[in-house]
Amino acid sequence: MLSREILRRVREIEVRTGRQVADVLAGEYVSVFKGRGIEFDEVRPYIPGDDVRTLDWKVTARMGEPYVKRYVEERQLTLMLMADVSASQDFGSSTRSKRDAAAEFCALLAFSAIRNSDKVGLTLFHGDIEQYIPPRKGHKHALRVVREVLAHGEWSEAERPNDPAGTLWDRVRIRLEQLRQSRAAWRRPRTARESTQIARAMEFLLSVTSRKSICFVVSDFLDEGFERTLRMANRKHDVIAVLVTDHAERTLPDIGLVSLRDAESGRTRLYDTGSAEFRREVERSADERVRSLEYRLRASGIDFIHIDAAGSVVDPLVRFFRMRERRARR
């Protein structure tokens, strides 16, 4: 069973993000993410002031009085959340880890989508595909998305909730994908949990999603060689990269000699944090990594959001929405 702490955190995120969606993001999501076009709704009698270009001449001739065609926007969208659950996401120097921040960010998007009757799906990935939840509607489904991001690793197979809409087939597809990649597995001495394979996650997305989706990739992007696959996915879907970092990854305190372990590689090294030059180099490298990632992604036509695990996840999302809205007006 899930721990009381996980359930408490899910409830806390639901309450906090629900208020933020209602107060802050209510109109932003709708204004930025439009439907795929317009679709025919009905034919109705002509009313003075209607555009004559919408007249349905066949119905008008048959009925002996003018009728017009009425169209509505095809509003329903599919939102796919790709959440990194590798070991490095567990890091957090304050009260919230990078995974907690990712879960809250996913909750904001999921509840915004559900509020507008859009579908939400989830893929959890690390070095492999951990879990895939097909896109669906509903508040309970949005809560499950948040719970799975937070509680990765807490479920046993016997306790995992039943998914009547095709869990067996989803597992088969995931297993086939894993088998397809297994030929190169011997080259990677690390376990799947101890690595990040964004390219594999995007390949999986392309294999299971035929409909155009809005795809948020939420990760710390401690990986290499994924830009090409992201570009391929962006040609079919609307891909947005969400970088999650922690301020302690950038700024080290002056506490003398410390032993630091890489959560994903497992390597441990001794560092002298008492050296001002070393601390400056760590800060410079961290800043350069973020700048370089943003530049490479934007050059590939992929939008970029940067959130700090210790800060607000609402403000970066609002800035992103407003940037997209301004760009759409041009």
pLDDT in tens, 53-101: 889 999 999 989 999 988 655 557 889 999 998 888 888 887 788 988 9
CA distances 63 to 45, 46, 50, 57, 60, Å, are: 10, 12, 18, 10, 5
Domains of the chain in sequence order = 4-33+76-329 (3.40.50.410), 37-73 (no CATH)
Q: Which residues contact 309 (CB under 8 A, 6 or more apart)?
A: 92, 93, 94, 96, 97, 98, 100, 101, 244, 245, 246, 247
Q: What is the pLDDT of residue 94?
A: 77
pLDDT reading at 12 higher than 60: yes
pLDDT reading at 232 higher than 90: yes
Q: What is the pLDDT of residue 214?
A: 92
Q: Which two tokens stand for residue 215?
A: 């795809």
Q: What is the mean pLDDT of the chain?
A: 79
Q: What is the pLDDT of residue 36?
A: 53
Q: What is the pLDDT of residue 193?
A: 59
Q: Which of 24-28, 30-34, 187-191 has the lowest mean pLDDT?
A: 187-191
**C-beta neighbour count of 325 within 10 angstroms:** 13
pLDDT in tens, 142-157: 888 888 887 765 544 4
Per-residue pLDDT band for 206 (boundaries 50, 70, 90) equals very high
Q: What is the pLDDT of residue 169?
A: 45
Q: What is the pLDDT of residue 113?
A: 85
Span 307-325, average pLDDT: 88
pLDDT reading at 297 higher than 70: yes
Q: What is the pLDDT of residue 16?
A: 66
pLDDT reading at 183 higher than 50: no
Distance between CA atoms of residues 297 and 240, nearest Å: 9
pLDDT in tens, 36-50: 555 566 788 988 888
149 burial (CB, 10 Å; 0-12 / 13-18 / 19+) is buried
More confident residue, 195 or 292: 292
Q: What is the pLDDT of residue 318?
A: 87
